[in-house]
Every structure is written in structure tokens, then in C-alpha cells.
Structure 1
Amino acid sequence: MKIGIDKIGFATSQFVLKLQDLAVARNIDPEKLSKGLLLKELSIAPLTEDIVTLGATASQSILTEADKQDIEMVILATESGIDQSKAGAVFIHGLLGIQPFARSFEIKEACYGATAALDYARLHVASHPNAKVLVIASDIAKYGIETSGEPTQGAGALAMLVTSNPRILSFNGDAVAQTRDIMDFWRPNYSTTPFVNGVYSTKQYLDTLKTTWAEYQKRFNRSLEEFSAVCFHLPYPKLALKGLQKLLTKELSEEKRSQLTYNFEQSIRYSQKVGNIYTGSLYLGLLSLLENQPQLVAGEKIALFSYGSGAVAEFFSMTLVEGFEKHLRTDRLQELDTRTPVRVAEYEDLFFAEAILDETGSAIFSNYDNQTYALTEIREHERVYHAVEDQA
């Protein structure tokens, strides 16, 4: 029985910051961002947009009413949690109107979480072939004003429906994971932004890629020649490019090196315009590849490298299913171009705004007309979400 991804949805915020503008405001060379990071734009989320609204929007874009009745599990992978107890998945379950007898929970391991969630979903469907599992990767990446990580912020969510007989990609059952107890990126409960050892994190990313790939080859006796593309976790595309270059050894044919390089360029197109979305970054790259590479054909294998600081890495592969191209979009880049540009001062006000609660622990929000779902208020410390059309 084939198990895999039947549908993929994506959502990001309505505002965009041009990195050219950020470079000028921060008095740095624009090429340090455009060429040094391979980034162009960042999605900027206002206070009324968070992991719940983004996750619900991405999911709503792909789910039918029949899907909502068949879903047996909702898994939200995030490192931008809104509550230390209640899972964001529960809020999303309610907003979408998914049938009540479904498990809903949140999973965390930095940017690796969505990969763990997909594996959990696969195991559930293997035992329950008629089940559907909704996996959501939703995050808002914040690093602080004028920090080294500021150009690698972003906001967005991926929603993936895992089923038997999938219509886009099937798992190949060949995953190899690795865990290292390190401190390259972390965010204690008392901090709203993370602590990062950037040089160390880069080395760990590349070394876990090297060693996990070596173990993968050892266990499954596979060569890069077997894959049409490699998708990477994308904290910023230039780091993933370094990873690809590590894999492109002299043993590979020139034709294969050219193919993998071209497909890599297609896989970073969305991230270049959205920025870092933590748990969803790898899968935004996968979606970008699928929707921007018309030469891919059914039966071809795609390798994926997942990395989450702290650290857990995984190398695995998926196979394209016959007719996969019918279940994808071709207008997403144009849609990204419809976001509202903001000046640097506006970005700072939007992105770093915090709720100001009154003496009862309440606040009412506005200016969310262009969202699908919104955080409309906090009522005595309870977060209240609505579909925006219901509030009109």
C-alpha cells in the first residue's frame, strides 16, 4: 500500500518587506542579502496573524468537507507556540470544523518537527488505510531588530494531507535520522526571540547532512544518481546551496549535477520571497520544486534533508505519483506578488507588536480584513479566533 502526501496547501501573511529596503535601512550592502543569503523578500505577520490563523488558512485551501469528516488526526508542528498547554492544533481543528473524534496535538523539535509529524502520520495510515491525517507546519520566525538573523525572518504555514493511495508523493520507507545534543539555536521560555550561534549552527547543519547521508547510503545502498532533485531545510537558501555542493561529488555524471542544480534553483523560489518559516521551510522548498519544474515526471524520486537545531536531522525520499501535476498550482509566484509592501518602520511596528491587555487580561484587535482567519481578541486571557468572513 502506498502512503504519502495527497494534497499540499500553503499560506503566508499579507505583508512583505523587500530586503533591498532593509539593507538600506541597516546600512549594509544589499548584495550581502541577495547573494550572500540568496533572499529577496520576507513575509511579515501582524499581531492578528499567528500559527493558528496561518495553519488554518493553509489547510482550508485544500480540504473538502469530505476530507474534514475523514481526518482522524491533526498534528501541528511549530516552534512558535502560543500556549504552554493547549495545542494550536486544537484551535485549528475547531476553526476548520473537522469531525470531533480526531486526535489533535502539537509537536516540537525546532525546524525538524514537521518531518516527525509526517512519519507519525504515515504510521497511523499504515494501520488505518482509510484514515486521513492533516499535518501542519506553521511558524513565524523572529530574530530581533538589527540582529544578524533579522534578514532570515519570515512567516508561513504548509498543510499536508497524508493518506493511502496519495495523488502527489509517496513515502519510500527509507528514512535515516540522527540526534545530537547541541546548542546551536534555542529559545528559552522567558525569551521572545531565539539565541543563535550562527557559525556553529551552519557547521552542524552541513556536518549532519554529510553524516546522515553517509549512513543513508550505507543502509540503503543508494546513489544520488537515483534522485531527480534534493530538497533541503531552508533557513536561508545559500546554506542549502552549500549543502547541495557538498553532495555533488566528482563521481556524479555532469548531466546529473546539472539536473540537481537546476532543480535546486526551482526549490528555493518561494523561500526567496517568503523567508524562513522554520518547520515549513523544507516543505515550502518541496512545493516550490513541484510547482516550478515542469520537467519532473511520475516515478522520479526526490530526496529530502530535514534539520532542526538542537539537533535532529533526517534524510529520506519520496516518489512522484502518476498525475501529481494535476494537484498543484501554477500561479503561486504571482499571488505572492500581490502582498502589500511595507516600509522598514512599518515592518518594525507590525512584526514586533505585542498585545496590550487591560486589567481583565483582555484586548480587542482590528485591521484583519484581508486575512482568512484572524486572532480577533484576547478575552480574559483566552485567545479568540474567527473566520474573517464571519466577522464582516
Structure 2
Amino acid sequence: MNSTNPTSPANCEPKNVGIRAMELYFPRTYVEQRELEEFDKVSEGKYTIGLGQQQMAFCGDHEDIASICMTVLTMLLERYEIDPHSIGFCAVGTETLIDKSKSVKTQLMDLFGDNTDVEGVDVKNACFGGTQALFHAVDWVYANWQTETKYTCNYIALELGAFPIRLNYGVKIVLFPGRYAVVVMGDIAIYEPGAARCTGGVGAFAALIGPDALISFDRGLRATHMTNVWDFYKPIGGGSKEFPVVNGPISLTSYMKSLDSAYRAYRQKAMRLQQNCGSLKKLVSCFKLRNELIDFGSNDIKSKLQLSNVVEEVNVNSFKAVMFHSPFCRNVQKAFARLCYLDYLNGANDHLLNSEQLKPFRSMKLEETYKNRDFMTATLKASEQLWLQKVDPYLLFNKRVGNMYTPSVFAQLLALFHRSSSLESIRHERILLFSYGSGAASAMFSATICDNIDDHHSGKKVVEYVIQDVITYICDFD
């Protein structure tokens, strides 16, 4: 990618900031979940059907979190021919620590040559750290793009008159775009032998963040839910050990509570932005210079708030795809079913199958639904058709690689491009994403597929790579 192509000064303000290029890395070694079922002496289908997992990737002792992050960042820089000097920010999201002081980001600096002016460090909060690192990268571009932009003045002789000699000069301002951001996220998820070991995995994701992106994140539409819960943690000191302390039931309930809260907040913010847009248009219509002000106002809103695609009444059918953090794929299906149920409570049920079967649960408090099996069965049935359209096709890597922790939800973006027949088929489509990290931190946000078509091949490359895995027998893994 050539970072020195001159652009117009009028385009200096960053718009449509998001992912311009992306890469995913995972080891080529994995175990079959059906063979792990046999090895663990559990019932057939417990991992493959009950959890929805097919394989689980793992790495050998020749790799660690620093090496896999360096690998995926190298892939990004080399495949897209990105000049390291064009990067001004790099943050790493991970919960896989090999040092309590030194960040993984500092080790990545070896890839930037003599460019030491690269802001950012590591971000940690279980599986959510990668999402927060991404938010930091997007915000950095919006805040610094103009100040990072370089201007040069070329003086051009326009006229040479007769005697007496007159020299008239014109000034041409050439703009060299500001610097980009890079976000890297990766984890090695391992559990001690037992019920949770099958939910491990390993992977790393890297993305170039900048304006005029292929995947533009909708401004003003981040909804967070933060709370204090001890569902999953890795203590240090006297209680330090390799494997996490996990309370599975609490963690799954915390995931669903966070989902409910974040979706409610997201819908409220979408409605508020739509109302603000409508109020501004009414205000503009009161002025004499109506047309001029409307043009300025609508363009300003679209660039700053990205409201052109915001639907006032948001529901899952407003999006081409809905993506979730995936500890295991069956949990994602239950989470999507909850969103459909919340839509039903909000009066949006045209897109559901047999929504009348949800009536018995309409008066039930949300707190009572988290562990209610009848509720779960009914919502799964009502949402099944949409699940197959909007979620399941994009869990390709999650099913085969396993729980990658921080990259989990973003691997689904690559699967989206692989599953699409062409970029034209998803152009201007919107995506809803939910990220969760134990402890707990979560966010719901959305993105729009824009007109940039340079990065479409990224998804194809990675999916070709996943087919080349190396089978490792269970005895070697154990």
C-alpha cells in the first residue's frame, strides 16, 4: 500500500474510519473434537453437537503470544505492502501474558524499523482487550489524522511577461495523508484436563485502521456494559497457575446479561442519533439559505455520525450479519436467539418463525430466562431460520480453530467475505458485533461495508490457508 499518494486538502478530515486490510493467523495443528470426545470418555456429540465445535487449534512450545502476534503483523505488512513509517499507532489486545511488565507491543516494534514514533501499548481484559484496542485505534485516527498530515508547497511559474520581466507564481499545496493505526490481538486459550479443555484454541488477528475503509465502524453507535463479576480470572502471586479459574454457569449468565444490556443501549443510541438528525433537518429548513444549509448539514452528519444507514427501529433484520464473541458456537446460537426474543418484546417479530410460541415468556422477567430450558428451546426454534442466514455461515474459523479469545469475533469478518459471492453482494450492508470479556467488559457496535474493494481478497487468502491444516493425533496433543 503506497502511503504517499497525494490527495486533495479538502479530503484531509478522516471519514469512514475502519478496517482497510486484515489478516488472521492460527497454527496448522489441531485436534478433532470427536476424537477428543473419545479420549475424554464423554458421550458422543458432547463437544461437536452440544458445543458446536469441530476442531481445536493449538500451538507447540516454539510459539508464544509474542511470536504469533509478530507473525500476523508481518503478514499484514508484507501482503499489503504497508510502509512501517506510515503507521503512527499500534495497540495489542491480549490476556495471554508472558511478562507482568513488558508489553507485547514493545516486541512488535522490531517490525517498524527506525520508526519509533508509534503510540499505543497492550490492553488487557480477558477476551475484550482486542475490541478495546480496536476502539483506541479508530479514535486515534479520528483525533490525529489531520495533525499527522504533511503539506508541501510547490511554487509553479505561471507567466513570464515581456520587458520589464514579470514573474507570477502559483502555489500548489500537495497533501500527503496522515498516518494509519494498526491493531493486533491474539491469545493462546488453554484449560486444564476436564470439562473446559475442549473450549481452547489459539489465533491472532491484525488490521490496518484508517479512513475510507472497506469496513467502516458506525460513529456514535458503541454501547458498553461493564460490571464486576468473578466468572473467569487468572490470579498471580501465591495463587498463580497456568490455567484460569472458571465458574462456567456464572460466566454464561454474565455473557447473556451483558448482551441484553448492550443491545438495549445500542438501540437507544441508534434512535437518539436518528432523532438528532431529524431535529437538525427541521432546524435547517427554517433558514433562508435552505438548500445550502441542508447540503452542509447532511454531509456533516454523515461524516461525523455516519447516520445514512442507521435504522430508527433496530432489530436483527437490520443487519446482513450478526457476529458474537464465541467461547463455543452453541453459546453464540443461544445469544442470537436472545436478540430475536428482545426484538419480539419490542414488537419486531415479522422475521421470526412461529413467534406465537414466545407468548408464554412475554411476561417473564429477563432474570428468569437465563436458565429456563423451555425459554431456550422456544427462542432457538423461533430464530433458527435467521440463525442460518445471519450468524452460522460466519463461524467458519470459530468452529475449526476454537476459542481464540480476543480475535474471536473479528475472525467472523473474514468469513463474511469468503462466504459472499462478490463484494457487490455485500456492498453497503451493515454488520452488528458483540464482544464480551469476563470480569466483565462488553460492547455492541456496528459497521458498514463501504466502496473500497482493494481488500476483498484478504478473506479468500485466509480461508485457503485454513484448508492446509496438519492433523495431530490426540496422544501428541495431550
Q: Is the CA contact (8 Å cut-off) linking 1:304 and 1:316 kept in structure 2? A: yes
- 1:300 equivalenced with 2:429 (yes/no): yes
Q: Is the CA contact (8 Å cut-off) linking 1:140 and 1:277 kept in structure 2? A: yes
Q: Which moved more, 1:288-297 or 1:199-208?
A: 288-297
Classify 1:104/1:223 alpha carbon distance in 2 versus 1 (closer, same or farther; 3 Å).
closer
Write the letter of the residue equivalent to 2:429.
E
Q: CA deviation at 1:246?
A: 0.7
Q: 2:410 aligns with which of 283, 299, 306?
A: 283
Q: 1:228 aligns with which of 305, 314, 320?
A: 320
Classify 1:25/1:226 alpha carbon distance in 2 versus 1 (closer, same or farther; 3 Å).
same
Classify the secondary structure of the residue corresponding to 1:346.
Answer: helix
Determine the C-alpha separation between the residues in 2 that align with 1:242 and 1:104.
Answer: 36
Q: How does 1:166-205 map to 2 (within 5 A)?
A: 166-189=213-236, 190-205=240-255
Q: Which moved more, 1:286-295 or 1:133-142?
A: 286-295
Classify the secondary structure of the residue corresponding to 1:279.
Answer: coil
Determine the C-alpha separation between the residues in 2 that align with 1:43 and 1:239.
Answer: 19
Q: Which residue of 2 aligns with 1:127?
A: 143
Identity of aligned residues (%): 25
Q: Is the CA contact (8 Å cut-off) linking 1:74 and 1:93 kept in structure 2? A: no
Q: 1:253 aligns with which of 337, 345, 350?
A: 350
TM-score by length of 2: 0.69
Map Cα deviations across residues 257-285 of structure 1 (whole Å, 9 max, x no partner): 64553231112111111001111111112
TM-score by length of 1: 0.84
Q: Which residue of 1 aligns with 2:86?
A: 70
Q: Which moved more, 1:324-333 or 1:229-238?
A: 324-333
Q: Which residue of 2 aligns with 1:31?
A: 45
Q: Which residue of 1 aligns with 2:456?
A: 326
Q: 2:393 aligns with which of 251, 259, 266?
A: 266
Determine the C-alpha separation between the residues in 2 that align with 1:183 and 1:102.
Answer: 35
Q: Is the CA contact (8 Å cut-off) linking 2:213 and 2:452 kept in structure 1? A: no
Q: CA deviation at 1:28?
A: 1.1
- 1:240 equivalenced with 2:332 (yes/no): yes
- 1:55 equivalenced with 2:55 (yes/no): no
Rg larger in structure: 2
Q: Is the CA contact (8 Å cut-off) linking 2:96 and 2:188 kept in structure 1? A: yes
Determine the C-alpha separation between the residues in 1 that align with 2:435 and 2:459.
Answer: 24
Q: Which moved more, 1:96-105 or 1:133-142?
A: 96-105
What CA RMSD, in Å, does the superposition of the two structures yield over aligned residues?
Answer: 1.9
Q: Which moved more, 1:333-342 or 1:8-17?
A: 333-342
Write the letter of the residue equivalent to 2:351.
E
Q: Gapped runs of 5+ residues in structure 2?
A: 1-14, 146-177, 272-312, 354-382
- 1:206 equivalenced with 2:335 (yes/no): no
Runs of 4+ in 1 over 6 A off after TM superposition: none
Q: Which residue of 2 aligns with 1:377?
A: none
Determine the C-alpha separation between the residues in 1 that align with 2:456 and 2:114.
Answer: 25
Aligned residues: 347
Determine the C-alpha separation between the residues in 1 that align with 2:87 and 2:197.
Answer: 37
Determine the C-alpha separation between the residues in 2 that align with 1:326 and 1:282.
Answer: 18
Determine the C-alpha separation between the residues in 2 that align with 1:109 and 1:98.
Answer: 31
Determine the C-alpha separation between the residues in 2 that align with 1:98 and 1:170.
Answer: 31
Q: Is the CA contact (8 Å cut-off) linking 1:135 and 1:161 kept in structure 2? A: yes
Q: How does 1:36-185 map to 2 (within 5 A)?
A: 36-64=50-78, 66-95=82-111, 97=113, 99-129=115-145, 130-145=178-193, 147-185=194-232
Map Cα deviations across residues 188-241 of structure 1 (whole Å, 9 max, x no partner): 121211011101111110111012111221222241232111100011111111
Write the letter of the residue equivalent to 2:418.
E
Q: 2:472 aligns with which of 327, 342, 360?
A: 342
Q: Gapped runs of 5+ residues in structure 1?
A: 349-392
Q: Is the CA contact (8 Å cut-off) linking 1:170 and 1:321 kept in structure 2? A: no
Q: Which residue of 2 aligns with 1:219?
A: 269
Classify the secondary structure of the residue corresponding to 1:330.
Answer: helix
Determine the C-alpha separation between the residues in 2 that align with 1:248 and 1:112.
Answer: 24
Determine the C-alpha separation between the residues in 1 that align with 2:71 and 2:44.
Answer: 33
